[in-house]
Amino acid sequence: MPPMTQVLRSVCVYCGSRAGQRPAYTEAARATGTMLATRGWRLVYGAGDVGLMGEVARAAQSAGGATFGVIPDHLFPREVGKRDLSTFIVTENMHERKKVMFMNSDATVVLPGGAGSLDEFFEVLTWRQIGLHKKPIFLLNTDGYWAPLMSLLDHIIAEGFADASLRDIVVLADDVPALEAAIETAFG
């Protein structure tokens, strides 16, 4: 295993700025942060210190991992910008935030979250669908959280608005060990 200070890959994690209703979401966020750090994969995320975002970052830091956070100026107070990251960037707007996060990562993982997480997911999914990148996209399906989204993607395909290949772009992992194995496979 590479030393913790040597970052071989970076994984962008999109997730809620809230903790959600189930303790399993917080547990999965912590386990994701720890897993990334122990694998020597840098966490790239929205730089918040609240909700699942904060849990992922604190766990990665506690495990000795590198952290790269990007937050737009207008969300700094609301998401409590986490300044003690390895890299901390403040952007002018959400579009710039998403671009910086995407450009500094090799894969995307989406944990449970709300509209912002969905926006981020659909943007990287669309970019992959139209050939702008080939980075892998993973959904951590904690307690079946993303099952309705997968049904929606199947519906979009069944109704003729996308090719079946759209479904193949997204890798669904039911827990963090499965997520880790899927990322390892994707990274080769």
Q: How confident is the model at residue 6 (pLDDT cuts 50, 70, 90)?
A: low
pLDDT at site 122: 97
What is the count of structural domains for the chain? Answer: 1
Give domain status of residue 168, yes or no. Answer: yes
Residue 98 lies in a domain: yes
Residue-range definition of the domain harbouring residue 163: 9-187
CATH number at residue 183: 3.40.50.450
For the cut 60, the answer to whether the pLDDT of residue 78 exceeds it is yes
pLDDT digits (tens, 9 = 90+) for 9-39: 999 999 999 999 999 999 999 999 999 999 9
Instruction: Give a yes or no: residue 29 inside a domain.
Output: yes
pTM of the shown model: 0.93
Q: 15 lies in a domain?
A: yes
- 126 domain-assigned: yes
Residue 124's pLDDT is what?
97
* Per-position b or e across 105-117, b if 16+ CB within 10 A of its CB: bbbbbbbbbeebb
Alpha-carbon gap, residue 65 to 103, rounded angstroms: 19
Per-residue pLDDT tens over the stretch 93-127: 999 999 999 999 999 999 999 999 999 999 999 99
What pLDDT, on the 0 to 100 scale, is given for residue 160? 98
Which residues lie below 8 Å from residue 14, measured CB to CB, with a gap of 6+? Answer: 45, 46, 108, 109, 110, 111, 113, 116, 117, 120, 121
In a domain? residue 182: yes
Per the domain annotation, does 2 fall within a domain? no
Measure CA of the first residue to CA of the last residue in the chain; give whole Å: 14
Token pair 């890959």 in the structure block, residue: 9
- Please say if the pLDDT value at position 66 is more than 50: yes
Name the CA dihedral angle for 139, 142, 143, 147, rounded to a multiple of 10 degrees: -10
